[in-house]
Structure 1
């Protein structure tokens, strides 16, 4: 059963950082982003990324690789094709997501709230080592168990958005709608991308 939304809590989603990497809100900064609470398994429940249109049971698990100040997560993606039975073993993509430095960090008067705490560069492991991409968190509520992430365009893939949940079905349809609408209301590239959200199914 879906958990009821907290009526008094407003969904807050923020614009992606600019070229300087400075976070668009203090909650995304090194001073405030909860790197430990963010760790663990997340279920991708909504996306605009074409790769997930023919996939289901998509999860991303972040585990510690390198501690701060050189923060990096082991990044383990698992999924099945939508045509595969749930009994089929999951496919995997393994890589490392490393926190990107903020351009302003070169300044001696840079404060922790000016340094991004949730903007990463992913690089694949093994035969995928040649592949890389950048992604960042745009908003989250770790008590309710959701995150919105933005993936930057690469030479091979378009920009896109994901909505993560700690478990599929734990967010009410009303809360999920609020998250999607808040992302759409950003305008710009992220807002336009959010018009293309679709459901990523689990356990079917």
Structure 2
């Protein structure tokens, strides 16, 4: 039996998204400028059918004078609610002091077998519109540009979006193995942060 296309089925899309993803390429300046390193996110299904909990994390250097540098983990938590009429579209809402912030986003590419996906999100009053290529296991990928087939297809899907022209450039997330700049690494990096392999 052929696998269900996640773009045609809500449950299949949520299953495809669930778990840990590492941001490999992004248009967001905050993940490209070196202030936040090795960002990753985790989606967890909740008892509510169309709702997943999500957590986005990144490393930040809190004391660069130490060796290895002292790192801290910054995180942002929220809920991701799927739109039943459109399996690839979601509404993110922050938790805690971020609960008043919402953002629409969509999955524009999903390759479950290769562990590569692409997401795009709408502009809000506090953040720019943007897109990201996310991967399950960045340690299994080579360095340099997004040059394997799945990564090229993900980049192609992003560049085909009508709002891509108003976004920043699609570049490696800081601190990942695609990033050509040497970035600080500390104990947080060595312990992998997210449970699905470290960068």
Alignment partner of 1:28: what SS? Answer: coil
Alignment partner of 1:158: what SS? Answer: coil
Comparing 134-143 with 174-183, greater Cα deviation is found at 174-183
Check the 8 A contact 1:98/1:120 in 2, yes or no. yes
Q: What do you get for the CA RMSD once the two structures are aligned?
A: 2.7
Q: Deviations over 1:17-37 (max 9, x none)?
A: xxxxxxxxx752326843223
- The match for 1:129 is 99
Check the 8 A contact 1:184/1:195 in 2, yes or no. no
Quick one: structure 1 residues 180 and 33, their matched pair in 2 at CA, closer, same or farther if it must change by over 3 Å? same
Normalising by structure 1, report the TM-score.
Answer: 0.69
Does residue 92 (structure 1) correspond to residue 67 (structure 2)? The answer is no
Unmatched 5+ stretches in structure 1: 1-25, 102-114
Distance of 2:158 and 2:20 partners within structure 1 = 25
Which residue among 142, 156, 159 is the counterpart of 1:182? 156
Unmatched 5+ stretches in structure 2: 178-184, 186-199
Relative to its length, the structure with more strand (as a share) is: 2
Q: Deviations over 1:101-140 (max 9, x none)?
A: 4xxxxxxxxxxxxx31121111111111111111110011
Q: Highest relative contact order (Cα 8 Å, sep 6+), 1 or 2?
A: 1
In the TM superposition, residue 150 of structure 1 has moved relative to its aligned partner by: 0.4
Aligned positions, number: 163
Quick one: structure 1 residues 183 and 36, their matched pair in 2 at CA, closer, same or farther if it must change by over 3 Å? closer
